Amino acid sequence: MKKIEVEEKLISITSVNDEDYICLTDMVRGEEGNDHIRNWMRNRNTVEFLGLWEQLYNPNFKTVEFDTFKKQAGLNSFNLTPKKWTEHTHAIGILSKSGRYGGTYAHKDIAFEFGAWISPMFKLLLIKEFQRLKEIESNQFNLEWDVKRILSKANYTIHTDAIKKHVIPELTITKEKEWLTYVDEADVLNIALFGCTAKQWREANPELTKNNKNMRDFASINQLTVLSNLEVLNSELIKNKLSKNKRFQYLHRVALQQLAVLDDNNALKALQKLSVDTYLNQHNKLDT
């Protein structure tokens, strides 16, 4: 639930099927709000607008019932409430919510129209504040993308350097085949964290592999944080000459534990502490 402020009114915004719905009740709170909404809905122009919107975006909209409302709109005896409108026409543009953030909500297109009913100035301010909210959300998305990009590269060099110095020299392979070793070691981390190799993920998600995308491009920040940590831990295990099987078992346990911490608390400080404690405990177990 998000909020914006217009003319000293805090207006709630909720998301339904990835669409923003603005609380009409908040827009007229303290001003006989329900009467405002009912008076607006019984207006003929409003009924026509609501019906047109539903016909554009709602394939299940009942046009026969809508035609009945449209014929009655404007009569002194005509009365229309949000509940009556949605129940009779199966409309999706307006909905009623109960509970803490209860009230009448409308799709942003309809809410802006209701804002014009209150006053032209209110509508302009509502649109301005809504756009500001969207800009903030967009900046947060871009920030998250930057963080994910940094995390995906943070300890990559440390990991590949350990492979180059401690794994490849132990193998009898040609220079041209060395890249397979890097892929193999990367998949140790992939299976420990994601449960599959990069190739398996590509085969299972062909529609997502366009533009050279891979599973790490679609990982969450928490997963990439753990992956970055696993790269450092695996490089240390490689240096200590642990077998691939032992390294995988240990890395898988660490991945599960660290993801649990981040998903529950979303705290990097807790992850850092768990990384040290877990590494020491598990390393002692492997040595024995």
Q: How many C-beta atoms surround the C-beta of residue 153 within 10 A? A: 11
3-class secondary structure, 141: helix
The predicted structure's pLDDT at residue 118: 92
Residue 147 lies in a domain: no
- Give 69-113 pLDDT, tens digit per residue: 999 987 888 889 999 999 999 999 999 887 666 789 999 999 999
Query: With 0-12 CB in 10 A as exposed, 13-18 as middle and 19+ as buried, what is 81?
Result: middle
Same domain, 8 and 121: yes
Q: How confident is the model at residue 160 (pLDDT cuts 50, 70, 90)?
A: confident
When divided into structural domains, the chain yields a total of 2
Same domain, 82 and 33: yes
- Comparison of pLDDT for 153 and 274, the residue scoring more: 153
Residue 140 lies in a domain: no
Taking CA atoms, 227 is separated from 14, 121, 219, 269, in Å, by: 33, 51, 10, 16
Total length of the chain: 288
The predicted structure's pLDDT at residue 272: 44
Same domain, 48 and 83: yes
Structure token pair of residue 89: 């026409």
Structure token pair of residue 160: 């590949």
The predicted structure's pLDDT at residue 102: 78
Q: How many C-beta atoms surround the C-beta of residue 82 within 10 A? A: 22
Residue 148 lies in a domain: no
Q: How high does pLDDT run on average in the chain?
A: 83
Phi, psi at 10, each rounded to 5°: -85, 120
Q: Which domain holds residue 197?
A: 155-287
CB of 56 within 8 A of CB of 142?
no
